[in-house]
Structure 1
């Protein structure tokens, strides 16, 4: 499988007039991608639980002349996601959805949090929200994307080859470490959903790719970032946006996993030829080993 070209200047003209749905698009990385696709001329649907924030952001971008709508969405609810996809499918003048990015995600407590209750008290039941949002939500989004990407009786099969599903994982889905057991496990799961579905999607003419960022300051990672400032280098939001735009616009990029590191973007070669990313992850880790140690030993 050919490595993704991450250097050639992007031609975003193919994104003009396309229908794009981004879950978790009201803030953080999702919001940055929403604006980038809107600037490229796409019709963007923000599917997010944060109603006030999402409505405000969509209104701001609309006032700037972009085509953006907000749909209040709970990604853990199948019915709620169906509503978002239905709305996105009619928002675009072509009555289609062309790009889907399951970006909604949450963080969680560390594995050993809540493990020292007062003597005699029951251990509190841990929350499973991180699994519900990051895994179930992503799975629902991917299933619906595959459904809405498939050609209708009035369209040509070849048109589905323009469709792009971009999974949002994390380098935590490749590099195991302390302190982020639940979150890291969900990102391993997102990677698994992508790896097991990409050939099925390819058979339908649908391109699927994955983005795996290193730590980036966003509202979701705010508490962790505060502990890490001055200790590690962060990856850049702009590099995540560039990876997403490339995956959507470059028809040659198919079945690739792109790491977003402090030094830029890297094709992880997460395929049999690349030993399921083993070689490239080794190179990435060799450049991040001190940063990983800082993360693993940070205080809470």
Structure 2
């Protein structure tokens, strides 16, 4: 029996080889829309891509920071190819307006890349509820979920509308030539290390970022249908204003990641049109050596055979090697389908049609 080749079926590119260089100049002439780009590594993305020749449309709720960033970058580049548009990502119409304005500002009338970067963190009322003596429980503030989950879903939905309409673009292809692929269709999602592991005291943030991971894993399985390539960045704690004083106290003695490493990983995704359906974790730069059992060990820089990196790839073999439970449950379900055969399929089809006509509903 021939095994199913998952990566080939969904047209996913192979795991990212970080030793292979990319050229940041590959983003030249691309039109990139980024939410939450007024500060943090979002602002780092804007500076990098604008300096590499992109047209960048920054959507952010903070008008003061957004305007200031655009003025600074225009002075640096000597070009007016960076634009700020006020946007509240939790408001559907505000995001619709952002995308429409981006298309108007685009030199070619289309969008090559959408970066769902907007995100917030903070005290979580779910973990620390107030008013426990009140007659009724107080309504919680789910702003973190609104921005980090609903806002990202809005952005992804709009990206899937506009990206396939990008003039001169073609469906994504892992065998494309990035140096010549000026018109692109790329959605870059911003997850977090909280997409992969829990952060104590931050259930809302963790739930939202787990949702972004789920969105990524679902979209990349069918991204070839609309020709949109989907990738994901999962930064660890990065030295930006989103890391609160309390978080810095908790992290004391450890290490945080650097903005430039996140920008580098994000630029690789945006620039290299051959990368489809991949995720990268960005953390503090460390020196590692791979052991015989495949595990990594933290070692000193003078140890033979070490590598220095701030980037790792999670979910690299999702479609080839999944955990034992997934393998077993899928095998069992496939066996059930095989045992029922075409007769079972025909019965289910008849039931489905009747259900659609209103029969058999309770």
Range into which the TM-score falls when normalised by the shorter chain: 0.7 to 0.9
Deviation at 1:193, TM superposition (A): 1.1
**Unaligned stretches of 5+ in structure 2?**
1-6, 8-13, 174-182, 287-309, 324-362
The question of 1:275 aligning with 2:297 is answered no
| Alignment deviations for residues 177-227 of structure 1 (CA, whole Å, 9 cap, x no partner) | 421111011000011111111223222221110000111121122334432
TM-score normalised to structure 2 length = 0.71
Q: What does residue 179 of structure 2 align with? A: none
Give me the whole-angstrom Cα distance separating, in 1, the residues matched to 2:322 and 2:186: 24
- In the alignment, is the contact (CA less than 8 A) between 1:50 and 1:72 conserved in 2? yes
CA–CA distance in 2 between the matches of 1:198 and 1:158? 13
Match of 1:49 among 61, 76, 93: 61
CA RMSD after TM alignment: 2.2
- Counterpart residue number, 1:266: 312
Do the aligned residues in 1 keep the contact of 2:189 with 2:233 (CA within 8 Å)? yes
Structure of larger gyration radius: 2
Cα–Cα, structure 1 residues 191 and 156, in superposed 2: closer, same or farther, change >3 Å? closer
Match of 1:246 among 268, 280, 286: 268
How does the TM-score come out when normalised to structure 1? 0.84
Q: Could you tell me whether the CA contact under 8 Å between 2:122 and 2:244 is conserved in 1?
A: no
Q: 1:130: how far off?
A: 0.8
Give the whole-Å Cα distance in 2 for the aligned partners of 1:187 and 1:260. 15
Please name the residue that 1:288 is paired with. Answer: none
Q: Distance in 2 between matches of 1:187 and 1:159?
A: 26
> Which sits farther off after the overlay, 42-51 or 265-274?
265-274
What is the count of residue pairs matched by the alignment? 275
Q: Which runs of 5+ in 1 are unaligned?
A: 277-300
1:284 corresponds in structure 2 to: none
**1:6 maps onto 2:53 in alignment:** no
For residue 4 of structure 1, give the secondary structure of its aligned residue in structure 2: coil
| Structure-2 residue corresponding to 1:174 | 196
- Following TM superposition, by how much is the alpha carbon of 1:30 offset from its aligned partner in structure 2, in angstroms? 0.9
Cα distance between partner residues in 1 of 2:30 and 2:113: 8
1:134 equivalenced with 2:154 (yes/no): no
Measure, in 2, the Cα distance between the counterparts of 1:133 and 1:156: 30
1:113 corresponds to which of 128, 131, 145: 128
Structure 1 residues 128, 3: closer, same or farther in 2, change over 3 A?
same
Distance 1:214 1:156, change over 3 A: closer
Asked whether the equivalents of residues 15 and 278 of structure 2 are also in contact (C-alpha less than 8 Å), the reply is: yes
Runs of 4+ in 1 over 6 A off after TM superposition: none
